[in-house]
Amino acid sequence: MLAGGSGPAVACAMRMITKVAQMLGATELVSVSSAHIDGCLYHGDSGVLFAEKLAQTGVRVCVPTTLNVGALDLLHEGVTRLDASATAMATRMANAYVAMGCRQTWTCAPYQAGHRPKAGEDVAWGESNAVAFCNSVLGARTNRYGDFLDICAALTGRVPRTGLHIPANRLATVLVDATKLPRDFLRSDVAYPIIGSWLGRTIGTRIAALEGLEDPTEDRLKALGAAAASSGSVGLFHVVGTTPEAKDRDRAFGGRAPEEVIILEMSVLDDVRARLSTVTLQNGAPLDAVAIGSPHLSAEELRQLAALLGTSQCRVPLYACTSRRSLESVRDQGIEARLRDRGVTLVTDTCIVVTPILVPKNGVLLTNSAKFAHYTPANTGYEVVFGSLDSCVASAISGRLTLGT
């Protein structure tokens, strides 16, 4: 491949892979079984031209490959507010990746769109939350492959053998003891993004095993990993008794004692929760928008949203970001139509912090997503308030901040 036997695009990709391997000190490459592309989001013309240069050779990915969010909602006209020039370039970028054989998933949660590698498989995934979920919840092995190393891996089927591709590097070194936290807090939907935000800020590049979490569903682990990856550089965490490489504490640590034990206290997490909001508002204060779905809402979360709304109408915009696959999964149940009838703006293929969707203003946005809380102020200009899903729905209905637990 490096010598050009598979064509010029693959040779270019392999040059990049081997140069990165040398930079990282890797002495060999590893084969990957799939890829998830983060470089398909339009940030500027250079990324479009790079993708088109590859695609023009007729090259196609050699492993199953999904696409992360783009800059456009390709299903719903008028949702995004890009100007004509940016829209044209984002469309060209999308077309280039599709031409190379990538699946049009357009989601930051490919694991909800049927892309679920098995435990122990080596893959090449981009997008921070997807990487954390892939490593932690699925037990597959990937480092965080950024623009445009991700497409190079998809074209060659190879990545440097380093980092989290090496089993010894995946063992936990820090034990996080959550057994002293109140049970009612651990059962609430805010617990996991708050704990994830603390984890990202505290653990750094180390591997933690969490003990004592209650009801760790996939959606909750998704929220934890997304928060940990956006507030820090966490690419892998273990939940003792739940995740594939941590069936018990001994397996999580490879038979070794933890290098550090951290006992989580509620006072620390109360401070983390406060920091997720950039403005302090009293209940009843006016709001400008509510946004949920970072990572993208699952089908189950869409059902929860519809149940909470009931027959009520939104008085302020409620943006629900989700994937094509999740929306399709609930369409036959009438949930998509019900949400639209209640005033929900359904966003697919993208989200509010990566492309202009919100009405331009100096507003205040309420969210239950720690990832949205992290990126919203810098990316949109809105101040942010963090709350539960119940609070998000109640506030959208009343048009004013309605914070519960």
Residue 405, pLDDT score: 55
29 and 141 housed in the same domain: yes
Centroid of chain to Cα 94: 19
The answer to whether 145 and 159 are in contact (CB under 8 A) is: yes
User: ∠ CA(64), CA(245), CA(214), 5° rounding?
Assistant: 105
Token digits for 339? 């949400």
The residue among 242, 275, 308 that closes a domain is: 275
270-309 burial string, b = 16+ CB within 10 Å, else e? eebbebbbeeebeeeeebbbbbbbbbbbbbebbbbbbeeb
228 and 366 housed in the same domain: no
Residue 376, pLDDT score: 97
Q: How far is CA 364 from CA 258, 344, 356, 401, in A?
A: 42, 18, 16, 10
307 and 262 housed in the same domain: no
What's the whole-model pTM score? 0.97
Residue 269, pLDDT score: 98
Domain around 230: 171-275
Positions in the chain short of pLDDT 50: none
Token digits for 367? 């969210």
Residue 404, pLDDT score: 77
Residue type at 175 in one-letter notation: L
DSSP states of 80-139 = S---HHHHHHHHHHHHHHHHTT-B----S-GGGTT--PPTT-B-EE-SHHHHHHIIIII-
162 and 140 housed in the same domain: yes
CATH number at residue 338: 3.30.499.10
157 and 175 housed in the same domain: no
Token digits for 366? 């309420």
Residue ranges with strand state E in 165-288? 174-177, 208-211, 237-239, 260-263
Q: H-helix or E-strand containing 35?
A: strand 35-37
249 and 301 housed in the same domain: no
The answer to whether 388 and 404 are in contact (CB under 8 A) is: yes
159 and 308 housed in the same domain: no
Residue 388, pLDDT score: 97
The answer to whether 137 and 230 are in contact (CB under 8 A) is: no
Give the full edge-to-edge strand order of the sheet including 124-125.
65-67, 35-37, 124-125
The residue among 167, 201, 216 that closes a domain is: 167
Q: Residue 152: exposed, middle, or buried by beta-carbon count in 10 A (0-12, 13-18, 19+)?
A: buried
Q: H-helix or E-strand containing 201?
A: helix 191-203
Q: Which residues pair with 346 in a beta bridge?
A: 320
Report, in this order, helix, strand and coil percent for the chain, each rounded to 5: 40, 15, 45
- Please name the residue that has the structure tokens 């027959």: 311
161 and 175 housed in the same domain: no
49 and 110 housed in the same domain: yes
Residue 383, pLDDT score: 97
63 and 98 housed in the same domain: yes
Q: Does the residue 20 lie in any domain?
A: yes
The 3-state DSSP class for residue 212 equals coil
What's the structural domain count of the chain? Answer: 3
The answer for residues whose C-beta is within 8 angstroms of residue 153's C-beta and 6 or more apart is 13, 17, 32, 35, 124, 145, 159
CA distance 269 to 275: 10
CA distance 354 to 365: 15
Q: Does the residue 283 lie in any domain?
A: no
The 3-state DSSP class for residue 364 equals strand
Q: Does the residue 210 lie in any domain?
A: yes
